[in-house]
Chains A and B, each alone.
Chain A
Amino acid sequence: MAISSQSAKNLGSKVLIRPNSQTKGIVSWLTTVDHKRLGIMYLVASFLFLFTATIESSLIRTQLIRPNNTFLSPEIFNQMFTLHGVTMVFLAIMPMGTGFANFLVPLMIGARDLAFPRLNAFGFWIYIAGATLFYSSIFLGGAPNAGWFAYAPLTSLSANPGHGIDFYMIGLFLAGMGTLATAMNVIVTIISMRAPGMTLWRMPMFIWMVLITMFLILFAFPPFTIALVQVIMDRSFGSLFYVPEQGGMPILWQHLFWIFGHPEVYIIVLPAFGAISEVIPAFSRKPLSGYPIMVFSGMSIGFMGFAVWAHHMFTTGLGPYGEMAFAVTSFVIGVPTGAKIFNWVMTMWGGKIRLTTSMLFAIGFIVTFVMGGITGIMVAISSLDAQINSSYFLVAHFHYAMGGGALLGFMAGFYYWFPKFTGKMLSEKVGRFVFALIAVGFHTVFFPQHFLGLMGMPRRIQTYADGYGFNTLNLISTLGSYIALVGACLLAYDIIVTMRSKDRKAPNDPWDARSLEWSIPSPPPVHDFDTTPVVVGQDTFWLEKYPQFKNISKQEESEIAKLAKESDKHGIHMPGASWWPLITSVALFFGGYSIIFDNILLGIIMAGLLIFSVHAWAFEGVGGYYVTVDNDGGKK
């Protein structure tokens, strides 16, 4: 493999030397534009936040272990559930989906990187900047304490004079920018950079789900961003959007938040659906059942996701017509979700099932998500919702949907793709224990909470009095959270052991799997594919291994192969690393502080740095180098 560098002299590289393909060490990670490295950094960061949020939830549960407990003060308790919610939703599970997408989208569609590699790096660094800014609140006067949806007017300056809320608003504003940038990037990649022969209807289901997710992000984040801006304006510049004394309507925040918030649920869960749709066929040795139904149900979930937001607001008085309309749409959205469940079960039906850890998680996902879905239909009944809204029933419901659904789905994907990410195999033996502990722990935490909610225990209370009959169920629930925490620690231990061991090398295709990413070494080389892949159908790698299943005319296949050969003549161009995405994020990061602490000087400096770095970025050009693959070393 030979590498030739193509250096560019420009504005940017006069200031900071642009790293090239020989750069090693920390600088190469800070400036990387490689989708695999960024994907791994996304996954590492999201797992760290996942662990943090799990510890926070254990603290919450410890406070609730017995009545009248004083382990956490009410103020700390408020901060704790806010941190837990925000971390889980915005900093752990959603970036986990982005991380999977980052690593896998180019590999699964046969591309060599995302369409805009530096934009991708910016998306990652601005997410880290937002997360860091958000968490720095702990050291700078107290974390936000208004819950993960930060209802106005709890966030108003008069109700919440500390800086905590500012950190929430600006932290999520920055992280949201990154999410939007990455979403646009991934959409362009999927549309423009598929390998020859990969028509839309031959894309792996994971890619379909990611594509739909990214469109959801595209349309869901703007209302939220505007709502954040409005609160920032209220708090820092004295506008009146959510000041009831001046006619401001806090209900507007709820609308804008949930117009974003409900699609957000699908943003979190659809990539997990995609991962499951890869795992189950691979371990059932059958193609995915009902591929077009899966695609269309994904699309209709995405579409309907924008038409159900007000079911979070049944108790705010929408009027009978509003409640009726949103109750009906909420019932309807259960239909495509149900179709997906049936398809997964149909895929397993009659297949040769191998119960690997990944498959166990996938089955656990189906069971758990069905339970979350059924309670979801229950709370969609607006009259029932009036009774159980803001009770522990709701807590149980959305943890079954998001925690049990999305998280178990991602765990299945994590065990499935870990060999491809790292080139090492996780231990299947330990994996079984991890699965057992997490699944049992999860259900022990949340199943009793259904009953607590129906008995009338409100969510977000710091403690409860003795004698309401809450004691036993709360104790069980808390013990369950410790079981899940042990499972998480065991997983962390197994990852560390695996990464340090020398003899757990993963083969290219450990699972006898179906899609393109398994056709290349584990971990993949920097340029991903030696030659442009030729896609001959759904599950193209499976067809390559087992040509008897091919269903494509000789002529079409040779035309596709010709296109791929043609494409190879252009050589393999890799984009150059760059400092500017990082520096742009740093400028926005400190710019956030300048708004929080009203520091105009810092704001001006950072605005200057922002304008400069964006220009340096634009004029730097793609840069990069060419990779030439020797004929012998090409395919291993």
Chain B
Amino acid sequence: MKPAPFEYHRPDTVAEAVTVLAAHGDEAKPLAGGQSLVPMLALRLARFEHLVDVNFVDELVGIDRADGWLRIGAMTRQAAVERDAVVAADAPLLARATPLIGHFQIRNRGTIGGSLAHADPASEYPAVAVALGAEVEIAAAGGSRTVAAADFFLGTWTTALADGELLTAVRLPVWSGRCGFAIEEMARRLGDFALAGAAVAIRLNDADDGVAAAGIGLFGVGPTPVKARRAEAALVAGERHPAEIGRLAMADADPTDDVHATAGYRTRVGAHLVARAVERALAEARGGQR
């Protein structure tokens, strides 16, 4: 369990980082918190000729609110997200998802950008991103671009990031008004990747209890985080039966078997978790004005 040889780069700025990444193309990989990449290197499941350590790029760290969006720098540690008052106030779903990631030692190193770029379909942050309608900011030597979370995740450990690109920040829309949020997951042990999970955001109309907007992100139930569009639409259209919303959500999912659970288990339990999360989010939204 020793990694294959690689060359180590330590840029101080995004500009330097993307220059190195551009120079080495698919032979280079950014190193963020290392909580997934380093074990994969040690097991030789992943190999890169060049590792670009972005842990010393200060401009990648920070949490800011502007114009109805929360912007979180890619190298902001999960532990910082977990403790941040602005995140708790403006992105409660993200705040509540964070303690479910691994253990605190992992969150002390793990970063929000790393989680999104690693794109493990059973992890929490990608599902939260698609539920809330987040965007990721991407830098490259030739310029930067923004991609919607729903378009960013292409497959297991695969994203829209091209060779030479660096994920620099995630932008989360602040859901305001009568909102409720809930995340539910089933993991074998505390801190494990979820067998199935659901992150739910709901905004009610100001005038009545009709659903103005719904965001449902599923994890552990397919090769990517799943935006449960049918269930979201049904909620907005007035569907309230939790089991039916769970069923509709899982109709958008594509779970598979592995050593921890069957696809059938994931479908059944995923629907249950969606239903439970929707009930909780609705109850919170009804409870008052945010």
Specify whether A and B are partners: no
